[in-house]
Amino acid sequence: MPRFCDVSLPVPLDQAFTYSLPLTLQHRVQAGARVMVPFGTRKLTGVVLAVHDTRPEIAVKDALRLVDPEPVLDDELIALGRWISGYYCSPLGEVLRSMLPLASEIRAGKVYSLTDAGRDASRQLSIGAAEDDAFHKVMAMLAMRPLAAASIIRKVPLADKVLKSLERKGWIAVEHTQRERDPLRAPSAKLRIALSGAQSEGRFPKAERELLAYLSLHPGSHNLSEVEEQVHNASTAARSLARKKLVELAEEPMPLATMPPRAPHELNPAQRRAFDLIEAGIGSGKFCTFLIHGVTGSGKTEIYLNAIDAALAQGRSALLLVPEIALTPAMAGQFYARFGDRVAILHSAFTDAERAQQWRRIRAGGASVVVGTRSGVFAPVRNLGLIVVDEEHDGSYKQEENPRYNGRDVAIVRAQKANACVVLGSATPSLESRFNASQGKYTLLELPDRVAGRPMPKVHVIDMREEFLATRKHATFSRAMVEAIDGRLTNNEQVIVLLNRRGFSSHVACRSCGARVECVNCAVTLTYHRRDRRLLCHYCGYAEKVPSVCAKCGSEHVHFLGIGSERVEDELHDAFPTARIARLDRDTVTGKRQFEDILQNFRERNYDMLVGTQMIAKGHDIPNVTLVGIVSADVGLGMPDFRAAERTFQLLTQVAGRAGRGELPGEVYLQTLNPEHYAVQLAAQQDYHAFFEKELQFRRFMKYPPFSAMANILVRSPKQEDALRMSTELDHHLTPAPAEMKIMGPAEAPVPRLKAEFRYQLLIKSASRRELNALLKRAQEFARTRKWNATALVIDVDPLTLL
């Protein structure tokens, strides 16, 4: 019987930790299972990598308990985790944790208690009259017994600050705990109840007897809140019976999106050609990658659906990944309509508990089609045959926190390990993927036309400099755009208006001295949000009131400059007073299901116009939209980032592609100050191929990806001189770089200060991926030997943004 286990823990140390197994656990713990273990003052949950009998040289502690009865990760997923950990230079424990959507089942918390010093102090305090401030309240509460942070904060506003200061004084000690969430605490409406099948013996209170009687008369499972209407006190009785294991309480499965089932479209010849090749690929049982490059409205979804059918027909399962914002219940509904309850959806709009539940269902083999966002790539399906990555160019596939993986690339690695097929699809493939296809690494499947002979939208480019010369006015909308919108509204057709910047005014500046109002934590200007009447930092969330006078020179000439989506909405209301207008951006979509509400209402024509940021550009298929207005094509162009042109081209092409998807043809009005910029021009002509060639030339010349492997090393510190010194030392340690590798920097990051930390970066381009990886490992080793703070070094492999 193995007496030890090696556990990977979610801590920023790239090593496994060995624990001894108490007798009760020895026969139950296997690789891939989660165990709870002591770690310093904390209790942590980690994944068992191996069980063995090799006694470690140092004394080890006992593992505390097994978290799940069965392993949560199989060998295939652990191997994938190891690959991610190596490739993205991220500790395995953190990788494995982010592969599991089960964190919600365990509640992390802090428990505070008085130290001896604190106890002395508290006695002194209680001699004086009990004062009524936060400090005294907190001390009085803790004098009674140790308390969870949450319950202190609930009772005492501002307790946060008090706790911090008490900790500094050494009066209180904190213990980090993890507790499993009790399903019995969920509200009745979210629970299903059924008899457990166990024999009931002995006497029970009346309510419990009644409930048992009701359940035996009405077999099957019921929503607990519905039972409450029939049986007095059912809720309390149910929970008590559940503890006695006489009934089972389980969380209610999420509501299914309702969509009328629709007969599959007959594939047109281009779709058929693409599908036939994919079907053959799946049939071969070998790893292969396809890139579907199909213009907006060419019917890519129909190919995905057929490909999934083909995988299922082979007895294999399928994963479909979609961008964060595109996974709407409406889209999920399409899949339910087609595949019924074989589908599991891993949707960010679901609660953590709902996601955990879906995950367990997939793990148990209860779903063979999984639709999910980025982390859906880790869905524990069995016998994987196909992974589809829709809108493969989308930035939301890249996780911008540790581990900084790209879901699309992980999909390819996972498929390779599983001998499965990958289908990447986009109207605007990333340069990398399209380049791989042109090199023959991927099979290219092109759909150059929209379905049913529908035309591509006609794009009108409006030079806003000329507009100004002609009108002498700085208007948000050109005369041509206003006229076009007016025409569509008269025809009862719908309009989408894009401005990819939220807020009302993008910044506030003083006319006398030129000072701009900046965030206190970040080196960026604050954005004015009129509805909230405050200035907001889009990076850290810091907010302040609008100053009435300039903080620098005292002048009253404080002005709002630049325009955001909130103001666009406002001006549209002025220009079209009777139009029904909705806005979709991160400010209007605060609740999780609001996004779909707005979109659904727009789809049902309860709105005439939809205004928003890039959120409105992604994937939506709304047939009655015949006009797309782009207020400014220039928003992303000035970014200090080699991908700025690519991103602009993609966004403009995608939003233009929202027009004319139904029976009626579409038009686009694109306003710009840079009509000669190639990204703007070629997006207007919807000429992907010309853009690809031109951008590829630039990348080749500059040795940017796909002509090099790239990584960004960021060094952060609250003190500027520390950040500068550390990054310089690191640079010295890493140079001279191997041949065919270039280290640029250290330089201030494009956002030099973020969330109160100063940031310097080293940007690395390397001809060899292996050497790049070795260099990054050396950087990590350096940080470790120098005992840098765990968060000081950030390594981003294949970075998408360099902010």
SS3 label, residue 36: strand
CA distance 496 to 300: 22
Q: Can you spell out the DSSP letters for 686-751?
A: T-HHHHHHHHHHHHHHHT-TTSSEEEEEEEEESSHHHHHHHHHHHHHHHPSPPTTEEEEEEEEEEE
CA distance 311 to 300: 17
Q: Which is nearer to Zn ion, 158 or 513 (CB)?
A: 513
From Zn ion, ligand ADP, none, which one binds at residue 747 (CB under 5 to 8 Å depending on kind)? none
Strands in 119-171 per DSSP E? 147-148
Task: Work out the burial of residue 164: count CB atoms within 10 Å of its CB; fewer than 13 is exposed, 13-18 middle, 19 or more buried.
Answer: exposed
Q: Which is nearer to Zn ion, 510 or 710 (CB)?
A: 510
- Shortest distance (Å) from residue 510 CB to Zn ion: 3
Closest CA to 452 of 276, 298, 621: 298
Task: Work out the burial of residue 96: count CB atoms within 10 Å of its CB; fewer than 13 is exposed, 13-18 middle, 19 or more buried.
Answer: buried
Residue 621 touching ligand ADP (CB under 6 A): yes
SS3 label, residue 673: coil
Which residues, listed in sequence order, are joined to residue 669 by a DSSP beta bridge? 460, 629
One of 287, 542, 642, 707 touching Zn ion (CB under 5 A): 542
One of 231, 550, 611, 659 touching Zn ion (CB under 5 A): 550
- Shortest distance (Å) from residue 535 CB to Zn ion: 11
- Shortest distance (Å) from residue 303 CB to ligand ADP: 8
User: In Å, how far are 113, 120, 128 from 116, measured between CA atoms?
Assistant: 10, 6, 19
One of 18, 188, 289, 298 touching ligand ADP (CB under 6 A): 298
Q: Which is nearer to ligand ADP, 493 or 571 (CB)?
A: 493
Q: Are 508 and 535 in contact (CB under 8 A)?
A: yes
* Binding to Zn ion, residues 516-535 (CB under 5 A): 519, 521-522
From Zn ion, ligand ADP, none, which one binds at residue 510 (CB under 5 to 8 Å depending on kind)? Zn ion
Q: Which two tokens stand for residue 161?
A: 């600050």
CA distance 450 to 439: 26
From ligand ADP, Zn ion, none, which one binds at residue 553 (CB under 5 to 8 Å depending on kind)? Zn ion
Residue 511 touching Zn ion (CB under 5 A): no
User: In Å, how far are 126, 293, 701 from 300, measured between CA atoms?
Assistant: 72, 9, 33
Phi, psi for residue 310 in degrees, rounded to 5? -65, -40
From ligand ADP, Zn ion, none, which one binds at residue 537 (CB under 5 to 8 Å depending on kind)? Zn ion
Q: Which residues contact 624 (CB under 8 A, 6 or more apart)?
A: 493, 494, 605, 662, 664
Residue 299 touching ligand ADP (CB under 6 A): yes
Q: What is the dihedral of CA 279, 284, 287, 292, to 10 degrees?
A: -20
Residue 300 touching ligand ADP (CB under 6 A): yes
- Shortest distance (Å) from residue 546 CB to Zn ion: 14
Residue 429 touching ligand ADP (CB under 6 A): no
From Zn ion, ligand ADP, none, which one binds at residue 515 (CB under 5 to 8 Å depending on kind)? Zn ion
Q: Which two tokens stand for residue 12?
A: 């920023």
* Binding to Zn ion, residues 491-510 (CB under 5 A): 510
From Zn ion, ligand ADP, none, which one binds at residue 438 (CB under 5 to 8 Å depending on kind)? none
- Shortest distance (Å) from residue 288 CB to ligand ADP: 21
Q: Which is nearer to ligand ADP, 643 or 661 (CB)?
A: 661
Q: Are 780 and 735 in contact (CB under 8 A)?
A: no
Residue 664 touching ligand ADP (CB under 6 A): no
Q: Which is nearer to Zn ion, 512 or 720 (CB)?
A: 512
- Shortest distance (Å) from residue 687 CB to ligand ADP: 17
- Shortest distance (Å) from residue 496 CB to ligand ADP: 15
From Zn ion, ligand ADP, none, which one binds at residue 297 (CB under 5 to 8 Å depending on kind)? ligand ADP
Phi-psi region of 149 (alpha: psi -120 to 50; beta: other; left: phi over 0): alpha
- Shortest distance (Å) from residue 332 CB to ligand ADP: 15
Q: Which is nearer to ligand ADP, 619 or 636 (CB)?
A: 619
Phi, psi for residue 154 in degrees, rounded to 5? -65, -40
**How far from the centroid of its chain's Cα atoms is residue 681's Cα?**
31
Helix or strand holding residue 630 (H, E): strand 625-630
Do the bridges between strand 507-510 and strand 558-561 make them parallel or antiparallel, or are there none, so unpaired? antiparallel
Task: Pick the piece of the chain touching ligand ADP (CB under 6 A) from 124-132, 298-306, 513-521, 769-777.
Answer: 298-306
Q: Are 384 and 402 in contact (CB under 8 A)?
A: no
- Shortest distance (Å) from residue 552 CB to Zn ion: 5
Residue 338 touching ligand ADP (CB under 6 A): no
Q: Which is nearer to ligand ADP, 338 or 538 (CB)?
A: 338
- Shortest distance (Å) from residue 389 CB to ligand ADP: 13
Residue 555 touching Zn ion (CB under 5 A): yes
From Zn ion, ligand ADP, none, which one binds at residue 271 (CB under 5 to 8 Å depending on kind)? ligand ADP
Which residues, listed in sequence order, are joined to residue 463 by a DSSP beta bridge? 672
Residue 302 touching ligand ADP (CB under 6 A): yes
Closest CA to 602 of 269, 592, 588: 588
- Shortest distance (Å) from residue 684 CB to ligand ADP: 19
- Shortest distance (Å) from residue 615 CB to ligand ADP: 17
Closest CA to 749 of 760, 763, 757: 760
Residue 513 touching Zn ion (CB under 5 A): yes
Residue 552 touching Zn ion (CB under 5 A): yes
Binding mask 561-580 for ligand ADP (x = CB under 6 A): --------------------
- Shortest distance (Å) from residue 658 CB to ligand ADP: 9
Number of residues that bind Zn ion (CB under 5 A): 15
Q: Are 725 and 784 in contact (CB under 8 A)?
A: no
Q: Are 445 and 293 in contact (CB under 8 A)?
A: yes
Task: Pick the piece of the chain touching Zn ion (CB under 5 A) from 316-324, 551-559, 583-591, 610-618.
Answer: 551-559
CA distance 13 to 17: 10
From Zn ion, ligand ADP, none, which one binds at residue 294 (CB under 5 to 8 Å depending on kind)? ligand ADP
User: In Å, how far are 131, 142, 173, 174 from 115, measured between CA atoms?
Assistant: 21, 10, 6, 10
From Zn ion, ligand ADP, none, which one binds at residue 513 (CB under 5 to 8 Å depending on kind)? Zn ion
Q: Which is nearer to ligand ADP, 74 or 449 (CB)?
A: 449
- Shortest distance (Å) from residue 14 CB to ligand ADP: 40
* Binding to ligand ADP, residues 258-297 (CB under 6 A): 265-268, 271, 294, 296-297
- Shortest distance (Å) from residue 331 CB to ligand ADP: 10
Contacts with ligand ADP by CB under 6 A lie at 265-268, 271, 294, 296-302, 451-452, 621, 661
Contacts with Zn ion by CB under 5 A lie at 510, 512-513, 515, 519, 521-522, 537, 539-540, 542, 550, 552-553, 555
